[in-house]
Amino acid sequence: MSGRCGMNALMTHRPDFFDALSHIAGNLAAHAPLAPLSWFRAGGPAELLYRPESRTELSACLAALPAGVPVCVIGAGSNLLVREGGVPGLVVHLGAEFAAIEVLPGNRIRVGAGAMDVKLAVAARDAAIAGFEFLRGIPGMLGGAVKMNAGAYGGEISDIFVSASGIDRQGNSIQFGPAEADFSYRHSAIPDDVILTDIVLQG
């Protein structure tokens, strides 16, 4: 995913909400640098950076996170500007564990929200599935592409979208079809607090 996260001055102590997540599986790191995760290679650290290894881990983390803690999701960092002050709250980074690409019957592809757009375009080409070519011109990952209805060269996500699965701020699984996504130009109705995990697309 991409965008601009809210900022405040970096705290130098362990986050107050850290203890609530101490039992959670996955990689948790306080005051983790975010510059290596942004294409600009600049910016301050996350108050707490979380790298889940599965949907189950992500769901458990969000369910345990105190309600007042802000959550920011980053993907490839292709359109992410991080200020030197750092990012408050929990920053979730979806990595390789969410990047699977699976070709399904009927010219459909199931793809993780952490898969790079260009890699999906290549996988579709290799499977002789048309309709994904426009993704070659879009940097970033599928989760962000779906949320903003990314497009290029006359194509956009809404043209090939079938469904998406995600996890809301309370840790609940939630599904979206075309009606729920309600795509418009570079926009979708998928709530900001939903972290997409899997998408099904139709060639």
Per residue of the chain (203 residues), what is the pLDDT tens digit? 334 454 444 444 456 787 788 788 888 888 888 888 887 787 889 899 999 999 999 999 999 999 889 999 988 777 778 888 888 899 999 878 899 999 999 999 999 999 999 999 999 999 999 999 999 989 899 999 999 999 999 999 999 999 999 999 999 999 999 999 999 999 999 999 999 999 999 99
Q: Domain 19-93 falls in which CATH fold?
A: 3.30.43
Distance from C-alpha of 118 to C-alpha of 123, rounded to nearest angstrom? 9
Say what the pLDDT of residue 137 is. Answer: 87
Distance from C-alpha of 118 to C-alpha of 106, rounded to nearest angstrom? 21
Q: Are 99 and 116 in contact (CB under 8 A)?
A: yes
Helix then strand then coil, in percent of the chain rounded to 5, is 25, 30, 45
pTM: 0.86
| Closest residue by Cα to residue 2 from 141, 185, 198, 152 | 141
Say what the pLDDT of residue 14 is. Answer: 57
Instruction: Report the top-level CATH class of 96-202.
Output: alpha beta
Distance from C-alpha of 57 to C-alpha of 132, rounded to nearest angstrom? 30
Say what the pLDDT of residue 10 is. Answer: 46
Domain boundaries, the chain: 19-93, 96-202
Tokens of 173: 């699984």
Distance from C-alpha of 188 to C-alpha of 184, rounded to nearest angstrom? 6
Q: Are 88 and 8 in contact (CB under 8 A)?
A: yes
Say what the pLDDT of residue 8 is. Answer: 45
- Between strands 161-167 and 195-202, the pairing is antiparallel
Cα–Cα distances in angstroms (integers) from residue 77 to residues 107, 131, 177, in the given order: 30, 25, 26
- Taken as a whole, the chain contains a residue count of 203
Say what the pLDDT of residue 195 is. Answer: 97
